[in-house]
Amino acid sequence: MPRDNAPAEALLKEVFGFDAFRPGQGEIVDAVARGDNVLAIMPTGGGKSLCFQLPALLRDGVTVVISPLIALMRDQVRGLREAGVAAGALTSGNTAEETDAVWDRLHDGSLKLLYIAPERLANPGTQRMLAQAGVALIAVDEAHCVSQWGHDFRPDYLRIGELRRDLGVPLAAFTATADQETQGEIVQRLFDGVQPETFLRGFDRPNIHLAFSPKDSPRAQILRFAAARKGRSGIVYCGTRNKTESIASALRQEGHSACHYHGGMDADDRRHVEERFATEDGLIVVATVAFGMGVDKPDIRWVAHADLPKSIEAYYQEIGRAGRDGAPAETMTLYGPEDIRLRRAQIDEGNAPPERRDADHGRLNALLGLAEALGCRRQQLLRYFGETSEPCGNCDLCDKPPSLFDGTEAVRKALSAALRTGESFGMGHLVDILIGNETDKVRQRGHDKLPTFGVGRELKRGQWQAVFRQMMGFDLVRPDADRHGALVMTDAAVPILKGEEQITLRRDMIDRATDRRPQVK
């Protein structure tokens, strides 16, 4: 398709100082500059702001930018002014002089970009002022804030749709959140349900190697991974503060330069770690998710997860901190049944409304499905974000395609053990029943009399655990947080139980599972 964006490319260089567009930017800039309604989904750091700042310069009138992040707005305004662009902001942090200056430039028509905090939209004066100002375009940053089930809901965002209607101008919405429900809500609330031109670009980070591994001895697994990458900067993400400290000290004992980082440390200590990480070569930071927001180090060579992240989005963001410079980077994510139980419990025990909890379970499911993927992980990850792709050749499953087997029979046995015991028991007890292990608990409950007792002797304990983990990964059973992780069957399991659907499992996961726990005879 021929594109005449010579003026856009000239501005890209002259005003913004960039030689070329990033993936997706050129097309989005064209569409926005043309006056199309646009929804653009790009990952954090993908370069969204350019996609409305540049078109603002190509259109007559002022572009109104709505963003919830005041500090970010101020940054952008400063950057634009330094580049010689007439930009201003109306936020609660303004001085009276600043506000007056913005109004003056708006009245004389010289302002090109006006950043507005969403609260301002509740003010009738703002609406009137915009109606008279000759608005060219509305740009909405962090558009997912309009989603009531999301984590960042901003009630004032609900006013934006009305503003668009009143002004009768095109709207360009930007977000890094790619799930379908959120997209649907954005379309409903900002575009009155009429699908805008939608771009989903730039989620692939082909230089990052993806790998998952079942957690069997997490500390040793992390130490092994780090040993093979000694001297290269990396991040180890942990689920708890204690673990960051213990893994960091274990790494130091192995001769690595490593320190821990978590939200419980005081601000000075945290800043000290951030500074060391930015300037020192080969430092490992062992951290909770508190580490990352301000981290802008391009040459992080690896990221390892000692515990499963909370959602597929969180996973993507955390591994995405590696290899910003485009050079090869590696990742490894450990996961086990205990992680799954913990993450489910965190969702269920939070006080989110039921709809949001369902959405959170869905985001966790997507990550578990990725952990238990049968083929290329990147393909599956990108499919979640809506991009189609070929097998990548740069993930553990492309490196070594897994062996598969028809797991229908095993899964049906496992489901039957759960159902016949009233869906009231956790994995350990169910495995005891399947392998015919007469523990006290089994005998006390009379579970040695069940028809399921001992029907799974063909597999060992560790192998059944691998089956259950995959079942959790496919969301066939869920641990119930209110009942100590009792496994409850989901609707997805019904057709398998009824014999209407088959299920494929990873043979290699079953093969590698060793029996480490002594069996009670």
Where do contacts with Zn ion occur on this chain (CB under 5 A)?
376, 378, 392, 395, 398
Nearest residue (CB) to Zn ion, 374 versus 481:
374
- Burial 291-316, CB ≥16 within 10 A → b, else e: bbeebebeebbbbbbbbbbbbbbbbb
Structure tokens at 140: 């909405």
Minimum Å gap between C-beta 326 and ligand ADP is 12
57/14 Cα distance (integer angstroms):
12
Query: What is the smallest separation between the CB atom of 141 and ligand ADP, expressed in angstroms?
Result: 7
Strand-pairing partners, residue 287, are 237, 261
CA of 339: how far to CAs of 58, 240, 320, 333, in Å? Answer: 50, 12, 21, 12
Nearer to ligand ADP, 46 or 218 (CB): 46
- Asked if residue 22 binds ligand ADP (CB under 6 A), the reply is yes
For 99, 151, 450, the CA distances from 126, given in Å and listed in that order, are 12, 27, 71
| Binding site partner of 42, from Zn ion, ligand ADP, none, Cβ cut-off 5-8 A by kind | ligand ADP
Q: How many residues bind ligand ADP (CB under 6 A)?
A: 12
User: With CB cut-offs between 5 and 8 Å by kind, which of Zn ion, ligand ADP, none does residue 376 bind?
Assistant: Zn ion
Cβ(99)–Cβ(126) under 8 Å? no
Question: Could you tell me which of 66, 113, 110 has the C-alpha nearest to residue 87?
Answer: 113
| Shortest CB 312 distance to ligand ADP, Å | 19
Minimum distance, C-beta of residue 16 to ligand ADP, in the bound complex (Å):
7
Q: Are strands 62-66 and 135-140 parallel, antiparallel or unpaired?
A: parallel
The residue (of 29 and 486) whose beta carbon lies closer to ligand ADP is 29
- Chosen from Zn ion, ligand ADP, none, partner binding at 418 (C-beta under 5 to 8 Å by type): none
DSSP letter assigned to residue 210: B
User: Are the C-beta atoms of 479 and 485 separated by less than 8 Å?
Assistant: yes
Q: Which is nearer to ligand ADP, 9 or 480 (CB)?
A: 9
Indicate the residue among 50 and 509 with the shorter CB distance to ligand ADP: 50
Q: Which is nearer to Zn ion, 117 or 392 (CB)?
A: 392
Stretch touching ligand ADP by CB under 6 A, among 41-49, 59-67, 242-250, 421-429: 41-49
Helix pair angle (48-58, 6-14), 10° resolution: 110
Residue 378's binding partner, choosing from ligand ADP, Zn ion, none, with beta-carbon cut-off 5 to 8 A by kind?
Answer: Zn ion
- Tell me how crowded residue 108 is: count the other CB atoms within 10 A of its CB: 8
Listed ranges 17-25, 299-307, 392-400, 428-436: which one lies at the site for ligand ADP (CB under 6 A): 17-25
**Are the CB atoms for 173 and 141 separated by under 8 Å?**
no
Residue closer to ligand ADP (CB basis): 116 or 236: 116
Find, among 323, 307, 347, the residue nearest to 482 by Cα: 347
49 binds, among Zn ion, ligand ADP, none (CB under 5 to 8 A by kind): ligand ADP
- The number of beta carbons lying within 10 Å of the beta carbon of residue 265 is 17
Output the CA angle 165-171-175, nearest 5 degrees: 130
DSSP label at 500? S
Q: Among ligand ADP, Zn ion, none, what does residue 485 contact (CB within 5–8 Å per kind)?
A: none
DSSP strand pairing (504-506 vs 404-406):
antiparallel
Show contacts with ligand ADP in window 48-67 (CB under 6 A): 48-50
Rounded Cα distance, 30 and 422, in Å: 59
Residue 42 found at the interface with ligand ADP (CB under 6 A): yes
Q: Which listed range, 46-54, 285-293, 356-364, 446-454, lies at the site for ligand ADP (CB under 6 A)?
A: 46-54
Determine if 21 is a binding residue for ligand ADP (CB under 6 A): yes
Closer Cβ to ligand ADP, 46 or 118, answer by number: 46
Q: Which amino acid is at 45?
A: G
Residue 398 interacts, among Zn ion, ligand ADP, none and using kind-specific CB cut-offs from 5 to 8 Å, with Zn ion
Q: How far is the CB of 316 from Zn ion (least distance, A)?
A: 15
- Please report, as ranges, the residues that interact with ligand ADP according to CB under 6 A: 18, 21-22, 25, 42, 44-50
